[in-house]
Structure formats: C-alpha cells, structure tokens
Amino acid sequence: MRYYQYYKWHGPFLVQLEFNDGNIRGNGDDDVGLFYVTGSYSTNDNHVILTKQYKLGTGEPHENLGHQVKINLKWNDHTQQFDGQWAVRTSKYSGQDKFELKLSKHAES
C-alpha cells in the first residue's frame, strides 16, 4: 500500500491482510508507525473499506497520534490494483488524498 500526502507518495509499504467472508483484518507498519487494519470488501462491486488504526508510541512521534485513517477503495482493472482515498480527522490534523493498494500474493488457508 502507498498513500499521497504532503505533495509526495509515501511507500509502498508491506501490509499483511486476511480476507474472509467479506471482512478484512491485518497489520503492518509505515513511516508513521505500527498499525492494525480492519474493514470489509464486496465482490459484487469490488469495493474495499478499511480503517487503519495506529498504535500510539510507535514510529514517528510527531505524525503518530494513535489515530484512525479511513480508506475507501475501488478495483481498477487498468492498473490491477485498488485505488481510492484516505481521510484523517483529528483535533490536531485533518486531511485526505490518494491511496493505492496492490495485492501481491494470494494464499488460501
């Protein structure tokens, strides 16, 4: 996954995601800190909605507020990835911009 903020792309960052019966969960880390991911997906319209929850006290102390990032994505056949937007609303920061999620492996358990 990668995101656009402060006039530049950040990433790509590896994240481990598990897709199960319309639900998504996982974890990873990026230049802000460690995070957990929860969300949902629809195979009807190839839509993914994620919440990225940062773990306070990890990563960059000025950026990591222990906050949530809301991510809304749709499958893009042309780029073969999920494209969309991230959004953050806290008392110290509000912003939104582009977000991309490229799936690199498929594993059945």
Separation CA 48–CA 82 (nearest Å): 8
Domain count, the chain: 1
> pLDDT in tens for each of the 109 residues of the chain?
999 999 999 999 999 999 999 999 999 999 999 999 999 999 999 999 999 999 999 999 999 999 999 999 999 999 999 999 999 999 989 999 999 999 886 655 5
Task: For residue 49, give its domain range.
Answer: 2-100
Q: What is the residue whose two structure tokens read 């790509």?
A: 12
pLDDT of 107: 58
Flag whether 107 is in a domain.
no
Flag whether 108 is in a domain.
no
User: What pTM was computed for the model?
Assistant: 0.92
Flag whether 109 is in a domain.
no
